[in-house]
Amino acid sequence: MQTNDSVTATEEIIITVFQSAGLVAHAKMLVRMTEEETNEYKVVALATATILMGAAALEALLSEAAYVLKPELYKQRGRGSYLKVGPPDKFKRLIGYESSEVRSIWDARIAVAHSEPHNSRSRFVGEKLNAEGVKWVIDAIEKVSGEVWGESMPSWFKEGAGLT
């Protein structure tokens, strides 16, 4: 009888890439740039960019938090799954209640990206396209971040996003 003494070992390296902290930091940078700008047209352009960046940061925050905190939620696939719904529904599925901050950011993003002059969110976002107005984006994201992560907020997020 002959035995086979050969063994094949493989090693797998998985790199997980998180973007939320960087996107929050970028949104903060855009707020500062908007506050420092004096040209009205540039202020509106920067404020618009801040809303879009804030929405991207929000989307990343909710996806990455689910990946870490509730992997079974993140792994859902198919129509209506966690990754296929918008941030207001993601927040509710992840945390268990609705967030007016998440809804405000997402509505502002929709108003900026999808023109509907008759829609009330268009008036709302129009009021925010100024240096004073965009600060709410960061305030809302910071509040939502605290609600999502709670005491388990990872240092990579806290430090990368510049949260104190």
pLDDT in tens, the chain (164 residues): 566 667 677 787 777 778 999 999 999 999 999 999 999 999 999 999 999 999 999 999 999 999 999 999 999 999 989 999 999 999 999 999 999 999 999 988 888 887 777 766 666 677 778 888 889 999 999 999 999 999 999 999 999 999 86
How is the chain split into domains, by residue range? 20-152
pTM of the model: 0.85
For residue 31, which of 19, 15, 49 has the smallest C-alpha distance? 49
pLDDT value for 10? 76
3-class DSSP string for the chain:
CCCCCCCCCCCCCCCCCCCHHHHHHHHHHHHHHHHHCCCHHHHHHHHHHHHHHHHHHHHHHHHHHHHHHCHHHHCCCCCCCHHHCCHHHHHHHHHCCCCHHHHHHHHHHHHHHCCCCCCHHHHHHHHHCCCCCCHHHHHHHHHHHHHHHHHHCCHHHHHHHCCC
